[in-house]
Amino acid sequence: MKIIHAFGTRACAIKMAPLVRESKKRGHETIVLWSGQHYSSNLYEDLFDDLEIPRPDYDLKAKGTAPEMGAVMLTEGEKVIKKEGPDIVLTHGDTFTAMFMSQAAALALAPVGHVEAGLRTYSWEPYPEQICTKTADACSSLFFAATEKNKHDLLSEHVPEDRLFVTGNTVVDASFQHAEFARKKSRILEKFRFKHPLVFWSCHRKENMLHEERMRGIFDSLLEMEDVNFFCSVLPSTQIIAEKLGYAKKLASKDHIHWVPCLPKYTDAMRIILESDLILTDSGGLQEEASSLHVPCLTLRYVTDRPESVEAGGNKCVGTKADNIIKETMGILENPDVSNKMKRAKNPYGDGKSSERIIKLIEKFEGKLSRWETEIRNKDGT
């Protein structure tokens, strides 16, 4: 079969890498289409080599605002899809790339497979991710849900059950595979020589970035916890808001804070995560990685589309107010019983074999991916 893997952010590259490898392993024509949504050199240039997947066959170089990126993805993406004539286009998650590339494929009459389908909070947040994931699902022919909750939510929206599968999350595959790579080949710990307690920090969601009060609370909590060592993985959008609010120099100058642009190599980031006592983040992917690697996690949000990790006990939403972030962080770092209980929480996102399941399911649907109706349906659904 011919499979287009369409993605365009660092996080999605990490989660799609196991699928790309599995697709090639099983002998399928595997085309990587990079939207360009993440275009900073440290988020892109070394990533593919580190993940051990081929560099993109197509780079749409979509940049700018969401509508500007969307215009490029829809027009140029459609051209690629029509030229290649794939059996299926795989998109991932809740990004602008997932939304626009799913639309481009569906409108070009190419079947769409949505990996990590069904992420729902039934809230405006996370914004704009809830808009993106719902749109991608609306365009899809196959739905690969990570959890039973995701499946239940999709069924409540009348997604066809015979096209919906619980596969686990490919981030578990990536975490397991790259944790071993990281232990063997990463030398990042020699560079930083961290002290404990160590917290891996990443904050970049628009729902926080668009609110000055939220970001001040998050940044203030970092500055105030001087007895804790932080490795801050800083995306360009995070740096911009830190500069805008007058925090960038203060954060970068503190001895207990490593304020570092997002590491080019996933294996280096993974090695630091494995060394960490806690993850403090608003990232959905990091919540899943924390569960997979049994590192306690606190989520800098008021609602999460990964509630399974909260229910399992390995994760907790703590909001964005500085006093609460500090209270919850220190409550874990200073209490081994609490920390160990979170570490022992069951991983709800799968067993590391999601990619194999997804590609096998696609193979079963070869030649049967059309979503056109084939019979008259009565009012009772028969």
Instruction: Report domain extents, the chain.
Output: 2-169+350-364, 188-343
Summarised one tens digit per residue, pLDDT across range 299-354 is 999 999 999 999 999 999 999 999 999 999 999 999 999 999 999 999 999 999 99
When pLDDT is averaged across residues 100-109 and rounded to a whole number, the result is 97
Q: If we measure between CA atoms, which residue out of 367, 261, 207, 268 comes closest to residue 40? A: 261
**Strand (E) or helix (H) holding 131:** helix 129-138
pLDDT of residue 185: 87
Greater pLDDT, 236 or 374: 236
pLDDT of residue 371: 77
CA 124 to chain CA mean position, Å: 18
Positions annotated as catalytic residues are 204
Pull the structure tokens for residue 86.
Answer: 């794939």
pLDDT of residue 43: 67
pLDDT of residue 379: 66
pLDDT of residue 39: 78
When pLDDT is averaged across residues 353-374 and rounded to a whole number, the result is 92
Greater pLDDT, 189 or 374: 189
pLDDT at 376 > cutoff 90: no
Summarised one tens digit per residue, pLDDT across range 257-296 is 999 999 989 999 999 999 999 999 999 999 999 999 999 9
For residues 321, 326, 327, 331, the Cα torsion angle rounded to the nearest 10 degrees is 140
SS3 state at 144: strand
Measure Cα distances from 188 to 42, 147, 294 in Å.
15, 33, 21
Q: Up-side HSE of residue 332: CA atoms within 13 Å toward CB?
A: 28
CATH number for 188-343: choose from 1.10.10.10, 2.30.30.60, 3.40.50.2000, 3.40.630.30: 3.40.50.2000
When pLDDT is averaged across residues 366-382 and rounded to a whole number, the result is 76
Contacts by 107-112, CB closer than 8 A, 24 or more apart: 107/74, 107/78, 108/78, 108/81, 108/82, 110/4, 110/81, 110/85, 110/86, 111/87, 111/141, 111/142, 111/369, 111/370, 111/371, 112/88, 112/136, 112/139, 112/140, 112/141, 112/142
Confidence of residue 232 (pLDDT cuts 50, 70, 90): very high
When pLDDT is averaged across residues 110-124 and rounded to a whole number, the result is 97
Mean per-residue pLDDT over the chain, rounded: 95
Confidence of residue 377 (pLDDT cuts 50, 70, 90): low
* Contacting residues for 318 by C-beta, under 8 A, at least 6 apart: 298, 299, 300, 324, 325, 328
The DSSP result for 78-97, as a single string, is HHHHHHH--SEEEEETTSHH
pLDDT of residue 381: 62
The CATH class given to the 2-169+350-364 domain equals: alpha beta
